Structure 1
């Protein structure tokens, strides 16, 4: 087919407008153009066409009417062989990994939001970007040397097919581009915003190396981390030959200050931001295998216009969330103590999510399109994250397999076998996606078959299948086989559990979420209430402000009658309440007198010595 060409310019950087000129040759009497409604990896309809501000067309150098025929489709008349030019502008001012963003310092071109595509055209495509003074550009192309071209003020990338077009973001602006040190020179790091400290790069290379060695084969020749290091940037999104990471630069400032002061002894207090970055990079890189190639059956080739339902996102995202931290642990770039603390924090978040007993992981996966990415005030009571619970189910599956076969590789071996039966042997290293999507994808039944084989039982027991098929609670007693113990940190007697979370609005305390079956729910407190004051029945009213809410709670006692003064729809109400006692936070610790067999299993699982701090 004829080449479809895009030329991207930035006429008004302060207005956050991206101008796109689309040129193509008409193939029929009616030329239809469409834009995706969602992005692979972020399972919610975002209706990207709503960001188109202006739209005009010409055919054979003459203006031609272009009509909108649905929320994301347009059409114009053109005879076959005529040259069609469409000029349009896209508003881009949402700094996230799944939307486009443009200001005077850069332009992040998220393809599903930027590119209109002619109906029926499957490729090839060429994207040319006219750069502002001082700018450079980079893409997540699979073969940068062959696909990318640069000249002063100009950047181009050639993409062979539709999925490659939508999977290849482009970053233009004031960029810092480098390759990671050995053994990961094939990995590029492109940063917009604050520079990543130099001492982080070898640590990131160790993590990348650990992830790549986890799998039987590396499915790419080149990989690019595109990092948005700016206040407000967060999250990550996977692509076939790279990923986009959003990070807060202040997060690694404590570690940078420590290193600048000449203190090379790491401590967990200063390392939190570095740990976050390493785990985020580990997560998105792991997706180059699990999701982008080893994927649920519904995820590729994609229908970009509607929901692509699957019940396996707990495998795609939950397993990845389990291994993102575990592989950082195995790389040696996080302390054992910090990793166990993070694992305990995940247990705490799940414990504080009543929806874990309402929604199964399979249901959570299926409902991602309407629940996970569209939370409401009751979401924690009605649903559970397949990231969070999926990661902890992965841990339990790993422990179950290692208990049945102490010398086996646990869940590691399951994923390796799933890979060998699926994408293994298919050449996914080139710029095209045809071979990638020639594998039809897996189902939960495929996973169950391998779990049955690897366990030696031949099938998955009902109690194990219930971990993802039913809204069951999780039992972490199997941690003991690794010499680990889950316990609860004791809390100071007399502390209360409010049973709700607060949102700060200009210093005022507003109720954000009320936990089901809590005294707060039984008292009638609701999301959207403003908390004005609280008191014991025998005490004075204490003014409630966001900054001093904890001090007010200190005056209340578990089980003792109290009152809340609230404002609801501009009416002041008094609610009687008796708060429950606060619970301690979960903690995971090594058992000091663990036997040698448990210590050996811990070392096989973690890749670390039992004595490591």
Structure 2
């Protein structure tokens, strides 16, 4: 008798959003505990997937009903009597994100953690999945197929292999000798040939860094929607969610490429080289590590860098985007409250559960991790006279831990110091374990210096110098220190801002400024037209009560950052810039 666990997934009524699942477990103990994960690898939040399971029953190989009861939120206990057991159940799938599952009349997408019950006793055996699609639909998955079923060597591999089922015609290309498929749902790509060509160049640039790819085939699943953006990495595939409207602009196309580059780089960085704290995955609860900054932050640093290395982004544009990242960091007061190491550790309750206070109390390990990774790269380049860089650190980690054994909590720091040929403990202490502002002096190694200015508007991402020739240029702007959502509702009140000191609250509904009707955008714009120190009267509805709140405006902070080249660069700085971005000094941004 086969020792494999076998599943059959059907979707006979797509409009119901219900996946029909059969899970057959081989003969084993008298009592079988079948469980569903509470989270999925790569997304560090307990999502309670079992809440979508319904109508579960159990039968013997002869079809005899077996006693089954639910013992906790994710576990069903079957009186198996040592026999094989088939569980039949339905899974409600109506959440279109890269971390969940979605079934409707156009397709089915599902992650294994949402759908496939497992037992600890059979976790390491083969898991086979047969998909029964509606007529005209086809199943796509990165797993190999055998005798009509997709085969995973163990449950972890199955969980890391999402399925897409639909009437799709895949795009294909070869990168580094490996076949790649691209399946798109939600709309057609305006230029499929260009998409494949650009993805190929990005994949090959990453393969060159590591000396080849760790997979025999790869699958891109792309979901084009009206809103939303995100990705989730897997062992031999990725799911990308992207707004379809973004594909019509060069910036949007660039953003899709950086998203794809990010998830593809996880082939090495987190999928095969991962924190030891995640080995093996504990699907029952949170898995804590302080290293997410290194595995997500450094991947965020490299996603732009690989688009640049693939020749799909200019050096100047790359530096602009890095300035935008610096701006996002300096626009987050939480950087002065939470350390980067802590941000990694408590992602489960902070990063993935943001609220109106999150900007004041937390920092993203993606965001600050990207900046720290850029600084670390430049620190190593400076220490080794550009002989070594962060690439060498990641290759060293791949060499030592690419077998999946896991990187110890101090492993990244140790590898970086080894490659740099010097003790980088002071750098890491400041960057990871304090809330001090980061030291940007190392940008001078490549002839750049950070410059600061007030943001021109809420849509100003920074990255560029202030526009020239504007009326009132150089005049200090009044600052309220809040953001709005919808037309007029206060969304965030920043720590230490005039709005906070005066007593404006989140969810206040803005009505007027100094007696004149305004919406949220008008409120902020008119305050910027005033001078710091002036008092304005903000009228709001708070829980249906009309209030007038006097606010003494502050000075708008200089939190927009751009990187300018130094005015008199040395030959060494020009050479270092070339080594870093593969472009001559002439392509660096202009002087301050």
2:176 touches 2:212 (CA, 8 Å); kept in 1? no
Alpha-carbon distance between aligned partners in 1 of 2:204 and 2:119, rounded to the nearest angstrom: 40
Structure 1, unaligned runs of 5 or more: 151-155, 255-270, 424-435, 536-540
Whole-angstrom CA distance in 1 between matches of 2:475 and 2:510: 25
Counterpart residue number, 1:211: 206
Q: For 1:159-213, what per-residue CA distance to the aligned partner results, in whole angstroms no more than 9, with x for missing partners?
A: 1211111111111012231222555652222222223322222122111111111
For 1:477-504, what per-residue CA distance to the aligned partner results, in whole angstroms no more than 9, with x for missing partners? 3212212222134466253333111111
Whether the aligned pair in 1 keeps the contact of 2:413 and 2:424 (CA below 8 Å) is: yes
- The answer as to whether partners of 1:31 and 1:119 remain within 8 angstroms in 2 is no
CA contact under 8 A between 1:4 and 1:125: conserved in structure 2? Answer: yes
The alignment partner of 1:396 has SS state of helix
- Give the 4+ runs in structure 1 shifted more than 6 A: none
Specify whether residues 466 and 225 from structure 1 end up closer, same or farther in structure 2 by C-alpha distance, changes over 3 A only. same
Unaligned runs of 5+ in 2: 453-464, 467-472
User: Which residues of 2 match residues 155-170 of structure 1 at below 5 A?
Assistant: 156-170=149-163
Distance 1:543 1:5 in 2: 64
Q: 1:174 to 1:576 in 2, by over 3 A?
A: same
> Normalising to structure 1: TM-score of the pair?
0.88
Aligned to 1:140: 142
| Structure 1 residue 456: Cα displacement | 2.3
> 1: distance between equivalents of 2:239 and 2:119?
27
**Equivalent pair of 1:176/1:195 in contact (CA under 8 Å):** no
CA distance in 2, matches of 1:611, 1:224: 38
Q: In structure 1, how many angstroms separate the alpha carbons of the residues matched to 2:228 and 2:330? A: 28
For the residues of structure 2 that align with 1:24 and 1:274, how far apart are their CA atoms? 45
Aligned residue runs from structure 1 range 175-574, under 5 A: 175-181=168-174, 183=176, 185-196=178-189, 197=191, 198-254=193-249, 271-423=250-402, 436-437=403-404, 439=405, 441-457=406-422, 459-488=423-452, 489-490=465-466, 493-504=475-486, 507=487, 509-535=488-514, 541-546=515-520, 548-553=522-527, 556-574=530-548
The corresponding residue for 1:28 is: 29
Quote the offset at 1:580 in angstroms: 1.9
CA distance in structure 2 between the partners assigned to 1:190 and 1:364 by the alignment:
34
How many Å apart are 1:73 and its aligned residue? 0.3
Q: SS state of the match for residue 105, structure 1?
A: coil
Q: CA deviation digits over 1:113-153, x for unaligned, max 9?
A: 01112341122211111111221111022xx3xx3566xxx
Q: Which residue of 1 aligns with 2:585?
A: 610
Partner in structure 2 of residue 62 of structure 1: 64
Partner in structure 2 of residue 433 of structure 1: none
User: What residue in structure 2 maps to residue 430 of structure 1?
Assistant: none
- Partner Cα distance (2:570, 2:482) in 1: 42
Q: Secondary structure at the match of 2:276?
A: coil
2:262–2:302: 8 Å Cα contact kept in structure 1?
Answer: yes
**What secondary structure, in the 3-state scheme, does the structure 2 residue paired with 1:298 have?**
helix
Q: Which residue of 1 aligns with 2:87?
A: 86
Contact persistence 2:527–2:553 (CA under 8 A):
no
Q: Secondary structure at the match of 2:365?
A: coil
SS in 1 for 2:355: coil
Distance 1:547 1:466 in 2: 38
Distance in 1 (alpha carbons) for counterparts of 2:522 and 2:366: 33
- Number of corresponding residues: 564
Q: CA deviation at 1:594?
A: 2.2
C-alpha distance in 2 between matches for 1:56 and 1:192? 33
Report how far residue 41 of structure 1 moved: 0.5
How far did residue 336 of structure 1 move? 2.0
Measure, in 1, the Cα distance between the counterparts of 2:491 and 2:555.
20
User: Does the aligned pair in 1 maintain the 2:493–2:500 contact within 8 Å?
Assistant: yes
CA contact (8 A) 1:176 1:192 kept: no
Q: How many Å apart are 1:564 and its aligned residue?
A: 1.1
Q: TM-score, normalised by structure 2?
A: 0.91
Deviation at 1:547, TM superposition (A): 5.6
Q: Distance in 1 between matches of 2:398 and 2:358?
A: 34
Stretch of structure 1 that moved more, 551-560 or 601-610: 551-560
- 8 Å Cα contact 2:175-2:204 kept in structure 1: no
Which whole-Å CA distance do the structure 2 matches of 1:527 and 1:323 have between them?
36
Q: CA deviation at 1:550?
A: 4.7
Task: Give the Cα–Cα distance (whole angstroms) in 1 for the partners of residues 583 and 516 of structure 2.
Answer: 51
Whole-angstrom CA distance in 1 between matches of 2:181 and 2:568? 45
Deviates more, 1:55-64 or 1:333-342: 55-64
Given that 1:140 and 1:243 are in contact with CA atoms closer than 8 Å, whether structure 2 keeps it comes out as: no
CA distance in 2, matches of 1:28, 1:93: 35
Map 1:107-146 to 2 at 5 A. Answer: 107-122=108-123, 123-141=125-143, 144=144
User: SS in structure 2 opposite 1:594?
Assistant: coil
For the structure 1 residues 21 and 206, does the alpha-carbon distance in structure 2 shift closer, same or farther, using more than 3 Å as the test? Answer: same
Tell me how far apart the structure 1 counterparts of residues 15 and 521 of structure 2 sit (CA, whole Å).
Answer: 36
Say what the alpha-carbon RMSD is for the aligned residues: 1.9
Instruction: Give yes or no for contact 2:138–2:166 (8 Å, CA) kept in 1.
Output: yes
Deviations 1:4-46 (A, max 9, x none): 2111111321121111112233422222210000011001111
Shift of 1:291: 0.6
SS of the aligned residue for 1:608 comes to coil
8 Å CA contact retained: 1:179, 1:185: no
212-221 or 48-57, larger mean C-alpha shift:
212-221
Q: Are the aligned partners of 1:33 and 1:74 in contact in 2 as well (CA < 8 Å)?
A: yes
- 8 Å CA contact 1:354–1:516 kept in 2: the answer is yes
- What is the rounded CA distance, in whole Å, between the counterparts of 2:147 and 2:527 in structure 1? 62
Q: Residues of 2 paired with 1:497 and 1:340: CA distance?
A: 28
1:40 aligns to what? Answer: 41
Q: Secondary structure at the match of 2:328?
A: helix
Find the aligned partners of 2:399 and 2:26 in 1 and give their Cα distance. 42
Which of 517, 535, 554 pairs up with 1:580?
554
Deviations, residues 25-81 of structure 1 (Å, cap 9, x unaligned) = 342222221000001100111110001132222233123342110000011212213
